[in-house]
């Protein structure tokens, strides 16, 4: 399957908001956003300079998923840059077919370069933890909360 990476536009906001809601549900997040709040967040990201939003499509133009990422200074080594991959989502019917791995490799090649990549994975998302471990990511810290 040929995978094409394209930069999202404001025409994609409704679809991105829908995919983001699925990501939130799939990972067990407590994010309480409404559909319009998801749309507003993507609108802000697309209009600003900080975040990059990419959509992954197949050769026929069907959406496979999306990613939101930025380049920032490394916390401990401010002279070095790190890619913070805030969101990475492969749509449910496309999973377990090697598409996530292929998309990540394409992102790394076309967007990230030789920079280190940091990703947050919720404790409520064991499938996500397995996916990132499969790609060679290792846990770095645990953030904890008390209600």
pLDDT in tens, 69-102: 999 999 889 999 999 999 999 999 999 999 999 9
Architecture per CATH, 3-134 = 3-Layer(aba) Sandwich (3.40)
The helix (run of H) or strand (run of E) holding residue 61 is none
* pLDDT over threshold 90, residue 144: no
pLDDT, one tens digit per residue, over 13-71 is 999 999 999 999 999 999 999 999 999 999 999 999 999 999 999 999 999 999 999 99
Q: Is the pLDDT of residue 142 over 90?
A: no
- In this prediction, residue 1 carries a pLDDT of 83
Q: How many other C-beta atoms can be found within 10 angstroms of the C-beta atom of residue 54? A: 19
Mean pLDDT taken over the chain: 95
Helix (H, G, I), strand (E, B) or coil at 124: coil
Residue 69 and residue 83 in contact, taking contact as beta carbons nearer than 8 Å? yes
The model carries a pTM of: 0.94
Asked if 103 and 90 touch (Cβ cutoff 8 Å), the reply is: yes
């Amino acid at each position: 399957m040929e995978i094409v990476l394209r930069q999202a536009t404001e025409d994609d906001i409704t679809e991105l908001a829908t995919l983001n809601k699925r990501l939130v549900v799939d990972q067990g997040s407590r994010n309480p956003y409404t559909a319009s709040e998801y749309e507003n967040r993507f609108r802000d990201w697309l209009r600003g300079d900080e975040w990059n939003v990419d959509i992954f499509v197949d050769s026929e133009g069907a959406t496979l998923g999306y990613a939101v990422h930025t380049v920032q200074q490394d916390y401990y080594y401010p002279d070095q840059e790190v890619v913070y991959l805030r969101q990475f989502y492969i749509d449910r019917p496309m999973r377990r077919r090697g598409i996530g791995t292929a998309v990540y490799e394409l992102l790394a090649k076309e967007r990230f370069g030789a920079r280190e990549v940091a990703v947050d994975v919720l404790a409520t998302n064991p499938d996500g933890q397995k996916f990132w471990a499969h790609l060679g990511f290792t846990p770095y810290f645990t953030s904890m909360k008390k209600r």
